[in-house]
Amino acid sequence: MKRIYVLSTLLFIVSIQSQTHQFTYLLQYKIDSTETGYEKLNMLLDINPKEVKFYGQNLAVTDSLNKKFGTDNSHTDMSGQVVKRKINTFDNENFISIKEGYYSFKTTDKIGWVISDETKKVENYSLQKASTRFGGRDWIAWFCKDIPFNEGPYKFRGLPGIIFELMDSKKNFVYHLVKSQKLSATYPTDDFLESNFGNKAIPINESQKNKLMMDFYNDPFAFERNNFSKANHDLKININGKEIHTVDELNTQTKNMQEVIRKYNNPIEINKAIHYKE
């Protein structure tokens, strides 16, 4: 597959003191590690003088359309890779949606790289190889020293140049830099990153996050179940387009959802994956 790099020549001489520099990565990832096909998303890496942010492009598109047309649409990022950090640090604030809730939790994610002498030429760019182990996976990165940003996709940073290509050894997650642009001002993300279209992120820790995810797995339709138990037998609950009339039908939907959660349990940091039981 041919990679298309649309990078401004200004980036070769720009300094971090400028306004937001936005890099677009094509992310191909497997939500089920046993499958051969990939989900595809465009992810944005914003680097400004104070912060670095990484998030799905669809979040920004939805926010932009809301502001342009006065609408109130929302979007949930399914990548599990929405993060921000202060510039030149490994201290990340992670953002995640669980059921109807939106949460943030902090992690320190130091990454130690082994830089190889191996290089390759891609179009007009000279790239150098580096490797690391992070999140329970082995990773290979190709970075460009000519573009002076020590950042890359998600939490991957610390190399002497922007990361152009990144993938884990089993190719569950593959990133390619496809575009960059220099924005005239720091791009505001308050409405879709620090909050999710009206739901401000609730600060929690990782243990609380894991409990919320396990609670959701144990009873993904707890709200519907509570309403069902309080109402009369004529209540109709709609789950994924199917009308639920009895507790047995609700239990069947619960088991189906639990099966989906187990099947698609392939987070980028696999060492932190929750071990769900049947």
Q: Which of 161, 180, 199 is the last residue of a domain?
A: 199
Residue 231 is predicted with a pLDDT of: 56
Residue 226 is predicted with a pLDDT of: 80
Among candidate residues 187, 238, 212, the one with its CA nearest the CA of residue 102: 212
Beta-strand relationship, 101-108 and 202-203? parallel
- Residue 243 banded pLDDT, cuts 50, 70, 90: confident
**Average pLDDT of 210-238?**
81
- Residue 271 banded pLDDT, cuts 50, 70, 90: very high
| Judgement on whether residues 219 and 148 belong to the same structural domain of the protein | no
**Average pLDDT of 266-275?**
97
Number of domains in the chain: 2
Residue of 19 and 265 predicted with greater confidence: 265
- Spatial separation of the C-alpha atoms in residues 21 and 128, rounded to whole Å: 22
The string of pLDDT tens digits covering residues 85-103 is 999 999 999 999 998 899 9
- Residue 278 banded pLDDT, cuts 50, 70, 90: confident
Q: Which of 162, 180, 199 is the last residue of a domain?
A: 199
- Spatial separation of the C-alpha atoms in residues 178 and 7, rounded to whole Å: 8
**Average pLDDT of 265-272?**
97
pLDDT at 173 over 60: yes
Q: Which of 151, 180, 199 is the last residue of a domain?
A: 199
Q: What is the pTM of this model?
A: 0.91
Do residues 140 and 159 make contact, with C-beta atoms less than 8 angstroms apart?
A: no
77, amino acid identity? D
| Judgement on whether residues 227 and 181 belong to the same structural domain of the protein | no
pLDDT at 72 over 90: yes
Residue 186 is predicted with a pLDDT of: 87
Do residues 164 and 122 make contact, with C-beta atoms less than 8 angstroms apart?
A: yes
Q: What is the mean pLDDT of the chain?
A: 91
Domain containing 214: what range? 206-272
Residue 12 is predicted with a pLDDT of: 41
pLDDT at 58 over 80: yes
| Judgement on whether residues 268 and 146 belong to the same structural domain of the protein | no
pLDDT at 39 over 50: yes
| Judgement on whether residues 77 and 94 belong to the same structural domain of the protein | yes
Rounded to the nearest angstrom, the gap between the alpha carbon of residue 99 and the centroid of all alpha carbons in its chain is: 16
| Judgement on whether residues 132 and 27 belong to the same structural domain of the protein | yes
Among candidate residues 101, 102, 103, 84, the one with its CA nearest the CA of residue 93: 84
- Spatial separation of the C-alpha atoms in residues 13 and 148, rounded to whole Å: 8
| Judgement on whether residues 195 and 218 belong to the same structural domain of the protein | no
- Residue 230 banded pLDDT, cuts 50, 70, 90: low
| Judgement on whether residues 78 and 177 belong to the same structural domain of the protein | yes
Residue 9 is predicted with a pLDDT of: 41
